[in-house]
Structure 1
Amino acid sequence: MKGMTLEAVAKACDGIYHGSDGDKIKEVSAITTDSRQIQPQGMFIAIKGARSDGHAYIDSCYDKGALCCISEQELPGEKRPYIQVESSLQALKDIAQLYRANLDIKVVGITGSVGKTSTKETIAAVLSQKYKVLKTQGNFNNEIGLPLTIFRLTEEDEIAVLEMGISDFGEMTRLTKIAQPDICVITNIGLCHLENLKSRDGILKAKTEIFKSMNPDGTVILNGDDDKLITISEVYGKKPVFFGIKNTAGIYADHIENLGLEGVRCRIHMAADNAVQTENQTENAAEDFTVQIPVAGEHMVYNAMAAAAVGEALGLTAEQIKTGIEGMETIAGRNHIIRENGFLILDDCYNANPVSMKASVDVLDTAKGRKVCILGDMFELGENEKQLHYEVGSYLAQKQMDVLLTVGALSTSIAQGAKDYRKNHAGAYPCSVHTFTTKEELIAQLPALLKQGDNILVKASHAMEFPKVIEAITEMTQE
């Protein structure tokens, strides 16, 4: 790893180096917090977790060929190199910051209340048309996951596309210090993590901490249809690049054609003044283009516009941007279409908040045939959590949903919202509503409730473990 000698690492994390002078100048080959993934000449950072203490695995890491370990404890009699620190977690972040600074690479940082992952996937698909790109995998977007993603970078990588998730004030400040983004993308300011952030203004304040350690000469890309983000007039003396459907001042989309679960077609208009001045030349702004986004939901148009803005900022042509968008693939738990066992399943069960829940309902509403919503509790919504669940149910009842199945104590409010809307609106679509306390109770009743050919949305907060519901549907023996 470039510049990652034991001496440099010890200095970066303010640690005490124990070992020979000869080993001090050696570079580590890789860095991990998982003893099972240690590589020869790699470094293991021992972190105390809720379930296990990494310090218990230090000896096994040396046995596997580790060059050095980071430890909060003194290791009496240990002859092999180690660095003693006050906090291994802080050391993890400090070392990642050092490694990021050592690399000549562009970083795209992505945050927002909804759509971070799908936007990350779209941006990475676009940039891959011109550059070697590394992107965040899974949910590695927090103060442990982000450093581990940084450590995956090599000198061959040209761009890192990093998702950055938070739940409290100050977290983004620490994340952006590590990532040092050249381009910052904020998807929207919605209702999530209200327990800590209290309001959308609080969410805006916390998310925009991403600007604190960004490249001052970098680019800020914002959703121009978001009433909070549109209030940001400049960052480090530069105007943001806005994208939107209603707001046509920057990059915008029109001629939007919903293709149901097969995706969305639209025309994206590029902003001529977004051309980027590089060291060697001025890149031409990309031209307008028509694109078919292969993922369902009109909200994907926003992801495509964000990706187009990033692509243009980094010198891609309209054809490269279009090809990247049209070639993107869905991932499990994120608007992922599964056709199995006679069902079409919309797997969006990685996480949920009121905005994303309603968006997923909109996607399912475009399907042809019987539509079934399997919805679970949404967490971290603060004191208004029941009302926010209730509003999702009321919203759902305004669509043409045939069956609503809810799981969990909070989701009974979704069911009640749907029932009340039907009761108060004579012309409401006749949706059959069923509530369950646990997913096990739901799974036991699925054979009786589902029919061949059903279109099924499965969505809840991550802690509800709804992938088990997906698995049960795909393996179900129908009555």
Structure 2
Amino acid sequence: MVQVQIQDILSMEWLSAPVATLVAGDPARTCCGCVIDSRQVEPGSIFVAFPGERVDGNDFARSAIEAGAACVALTRAPEPELIACAESHGCAILSIESGEAFLLALARFWRERLGCTVVGVTGSIGKTTTKDMLAQILSTTYRVHATAGNFNNLIGMPLTILSAPEDTQVLVLEMGMNARGEIEQLSRAARPNIAAITKIGTSHIGMLGSRENIALAKMEITCGMQPIPEGAEVGEPHAAPVLALPADDDFFPFLLEHIADYTPGIEPVRCGAHAGCDYQRGDIALDDEGHPHVSVELPDCRSLEVALSTVGAQTVSNAVLAIAVADRLGVAGEDIVRALGDLTVTGRRQEIRRAATGARVIDDSYNASPESMAAALDLLCLLPATGSRIAVLGEIGELGDEAPRLHELVGAYAAAKKLDYLVCVGGEDAQHMARAALLMGLSDDAVLVLEDTDEAIARLAGIFAQDNVVLVKGSRFVGLDRLVEEVC
């Protein structure tokens, strides 16, 4: 974890501005570790206070000091009593304008001190799965530290870097965003040597306005990219930064066209099914449990026969991106194949579970977008079923003015899959899904609209009969994970 003297923190800048000034304490004090929750403070930690709508981290500065923090970074002026408390405990107090800027600058410092190779992953869909794949593959060969879960925002990603051990050889970092400019900040802190963009979808279209703007936001991952330096333990020194791209995605030409707009000299690596791809996959076959089998041709004419432990054909594109990055970092083919066959991904992403009744449940309740809804419906209809195929679909968030149209498209797609039953959970957008499904051919007795997850729990026990296969998917705010836990 991060080790830094306070005097080094005082010299840091972010976006050409100092990130901290010393209010009290010894600038020669060394700190070890960084937390934003005072309950996690250990002796020597840096505690960073974030003001919130309901809880203000500045209110917990005394608790952090008394728990042994070496430094507290505060966004409001400390009272004299707090300064006296800090001085009596040998704790420094820093004044900061922004907790996010402070963390990003500190993360940049520690990333450079580590001197490791950094892999960045972003995209609208599949970035957490791709990150999980990369972490597991690269761990067969190197000491890897990776984003936990989807800790991928302006707070989570810096904390991931700051928790990396000193002997880390590869950092695998997931980068998410809610607005333009956020991934650029993450990239400038992480300084990736290799990056992957998974797919350009419609997530956040309500905030960004168009898929073109979403694509440009994802391309910000290149803003901080740098070649692998001399002396790095992993990768070829002085090679150009590498950007792995999904050549099968309809926005691939757009991404390729705009690479030079951000950082010159980046080497694009094409991954997909098309001839001419640097990493070319063959046809995908799914076994009875939905696990994909695929052949991937590497640039040196080697071929890998991969059997994924994940489910659904859509995970193959993530795997090919991960294979490309791992191959460029020198991981042996047999290690890549073994890791992908044993992969454990972050939960509630097309996880096939058993209900207490024996029904198979596709738990994809973590989040949703129109594209991932379609992929989940594809999987539902590919799995063998002697009973009914049923989809319980919650509303999709962050679609803005496009929400009605995109929910209607999901409903129409569900109708085209000829489901036995479709349950739409939520308010007006759930109604849009249901109406489109009815318009496109599902019968009245095959479509049900429920107001919320509580009503779903109360009314849907009967759909989990032993021979049925049930997909449960929706955005996080719908809370359909509670339905899954109720029945499994």
Task: Tell me the residue number matched to 2:287.
Answer: 259
Task: Tell me the residue number matched to 2:435.
Answer: 416
Q: Is 1:18 the counterpart of 2:7 in the alignment?
A: no
SS in 1 for 2:368: coil
Q: Are the equivalent residues in 2 in contact too, given 1:108–1:160 (CA < 8 A)? A: yes
What amino acid is the match of 1:390?
A: E
SS in 2 for 1:188: coil
CA deviation profile, 1:417-454 (whole Å, cap 9, x unmatched): 2111116xxxxx99811110111111111123331232
Please list every run of 5 or more consecutive structure 2 residues that lacks an aligned counterpart in the other structure: 228-239
Pair 1:431–1:291, CA change in 2 (3 A): farther
Task: Tell me the residue number matched to 1:446.
Answer: 460
CA deviation profile, 1:340-386 (whole Å, cap 9, x unmatched): 41122111111111001101111111112122111101011121211
Q: Determine the C-alpha separation between the residues in 2 that align with 1:363 and 1:18.
A: 57
Q: Are the equivalent residues in 1 in contact too, given 2:290–2:379 (CA < 8 A)? A: no
Task: Tell me the residue number matched to 1:208.
Answer: 219
Shift of 1:332: 1.8
Q: Is 1:228 the counterpart of 2:251 in the alignment?
A: yes
Q: Determine the C-alpha separation between the residues in 2 that align with 1:363 and 1:393.
A: 16
Q: Are the equivalent residues in 1 in contact too, given 2:133–2:345 (CA < 8 A)? A: no
Pair 1:462–1:244, CA change in 2 (3 A): same
Q: Determine the C-alpha separation between the residues in 1 that align with 2:161 and 2:148.
A: 11
SS in 2 for 1:156: coil
Q: Determine the C-alpha separation between the residues in 2 that align with 1:239 and 1:387.
A: 37
SS in 1 for 2:365: coil
Shift of 1:57: 0.7
SS in 1 for 2:392: strand
Shift of 1:162: 0.9
When normalised by structure 2's length, the TM-score is: 0.89
Task: Tell me the residue number matched to 1:391.
Answer: 409
CA deviation profile, 1:168-223 (whole Å, cap 9, x unmatched): 21111111111111111001111121122111111111110111111153111000
**More deviation, 449-458/437-446:** 449-458
Pair 1:198–1:260, CA change in 2 (3 A): farther
Q: Is 1:9 the counterpart of 2:9 in the alignment?
A: yes
Please list every run of 5 or more consecutive structure 1 residues that lacks an aligned counterpart in the other structure: 273-285, 424-428, 475-479
Shift of 1:324: 1.3
SS in 1 for 2:410: helix
CA deviation profile, 1:74-111 (whole Å, cap 9, x unmatched): 32243131111222332122222222221111111111
Task: Tell me the residue number matched to 1:276.
Answer: none
Q: Determine the C-alpha separation between the residues in 1 that align with 2:134 and 2:119.
A: 9
Runs of 4+ in 1 over 6 A off after TM superposition: none
Task: Tell me the residue number matched to 2:230.
Answer: none
Q: Determine the C-alpha separation between the residues in 2 that align with 1:312 and 1:365.
A: 34
Instruction: Select which of 90, 108, 112 maps to 2:123.
Output: 112
Q: Are the equivalent residues in 1 in contact too, given 2:290–2:312 (CA < 8 A)? A: no
SS in 1 for 2:348: coil
The count of corresponding residues between Structure 1 and Structure 2 is 454
Instruction: Select which of 326, 341, 344 maps to 2:360.
Output: 344
SS in 1 for 2:302: coil
When normalised by structure 1's length, the TM-score is: 0.91
Task: Tell me the residue number matched to 1:298.
Answer: 313
CA deviation profile, 1:280-305 (whole Å, cap 9, x unmatched): xxxxxx82111101111111111110
Task: Tell me the residue number matched to 2:325.
Answer: 310
RMSD, aligned CA: 1.8
Q: Are the equivalent residues in 2 in contact too, given 1:262–1:294 (CA < 8 A)? A: no
